[in-house]
């Protein structure tokens, strides 16, 4: 059974840092699991097949770490099979309106709350702290990453079935006419960042985001109320570590 988020710590205001998996090598999660509170498994922009996603979720379970999987789109064919893997929850990209949030919530929840199809897959077969019941649908987190989504964020956050909202800063920046890598500390982003967390707080749901390896930025996001923050990913961390190591070696060699 999926390893749950520490909701008690989240409710107490504790920030939980996430590591992103985007390459088809779920064994990476075994290497880093002691360092991170949860895993962001990228089924949208990542290079993971269905089998690799399932392997990643199983690996997260084996190391007792929550797994949130970003699905490809809003469709039944994207949402249902990933939830059947028994991940901790899903992140649905590009949710711009309350109606879109309602639709993905409907596709994520079993009847009578929604229209999700039932299958005797991993969610019922894998033992855990207790057998899964039909009411344990997994968390639904919707991604806010456009100017339109920010304008509708209060209604999106209040949508029944939505358990959290996730800020996607790169796409939001481009939607606002900015460079995709505009620092989150830029004053122009202050209003949308605050509005998202205020909407989550008012709805009593999780505020999460893709953050930064910069400690000051992470501290700022935490102060604003983001409690689940993805800090880095396999490719980003490997690239940065490789560049730093080579530079140190060249410096030593003269």
At how many degrees (to 10) do helices 190-203 and 215-224 cross? 40
Cα atoms in the Cβ-side hemisphere of radius 13 Å centred on 205: 23
Q: Is 55 a catalytic residue?
A: no
- In terms of residues, how long is the chain? 254
Domains and CATH numbers, the chain: 7-253 (3.20.20.60)
24 three-class SS: coil
Task: Give the Cα separation of 139 and 80 in Å (integer).
Answer: 13
Marked catalytic residue, from 45, 74, 121, 250: 45
231, burial (CB in 10 Å: exposed 0-12, middle 13-18, buried 19+): buried
pLDDT at 215 over 80: yes
pLDDT tens digits, one per residue of 43-94: 999 999 999 999 999 999 999 999 999 999 999 999 999 999 989 999 999 9
List helix spans (H) across the chain.
7-11, 28-32, 50-62, 76-84, 98-108, 122-125, 147-151, 153-157, 169-175, 190-203, 215-224, 234-253
Task: Give the Cα separation of 207 and 141 in Å (integer).
Answer: 9
pLDDT tens digits, one per residue of 102-153: 999 999 998 889 999 887 667 666 655 444 444 467 899 999 999 999 999 9
Residues 114, 119, 123, 126, Cα dihedral to 10°: 160
């Amino acid at each position: 059974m999926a390893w749950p988020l520490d909701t008690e710590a989240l409710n107490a205001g504790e920030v939980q840092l996430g590591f992103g998996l985007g390459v088809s090598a779920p064994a990476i999660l075994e290497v880093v699991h002691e360092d991170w509170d949860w895993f962001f498994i990228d089924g949208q922009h990542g290079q993971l097949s269905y089998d690799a996603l399932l392997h990643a979720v199983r690996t997260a379970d084996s190391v007792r770490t929550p797994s949130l999987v970003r699905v490809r789109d809003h469709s039944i064919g994207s949402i249902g099979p990933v939830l059947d893997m028994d991940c901790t929850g899903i992140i649905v990209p590009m949710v711009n309106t309350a109606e879109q949030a309602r639709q993905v919530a409907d596709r994520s929840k079993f009847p009578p709350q929604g229209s999700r199809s039932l299958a005797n897959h991993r969610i019922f077969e894998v033992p855990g702290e207790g057998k899964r019941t039909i009411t344990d649908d997994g968390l639904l987190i919707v991604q806010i990453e456009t100017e339109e989504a920010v304008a509708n964020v209060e209604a999106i956050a209040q949508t029944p079935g939505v358990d959290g909202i996730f800020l996607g800063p790169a796409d939001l920046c481009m939607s606002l006419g900015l460079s995709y890598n505009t620092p989150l500390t830029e004053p122009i982003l202050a209003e949308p960042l605050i509005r998202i967390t205020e909407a989550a707080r008012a709805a009593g749901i999780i505020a999460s985001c893709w953050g930064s390896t910069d400690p000051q930025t992470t501290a700022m996001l935490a102060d604003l109320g983001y409690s689940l923050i993805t800090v880095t990913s396999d490719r980003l961390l490997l690239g940065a570590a490789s560049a730093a190591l080579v530079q140190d070696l060249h410096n030593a060699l003269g």
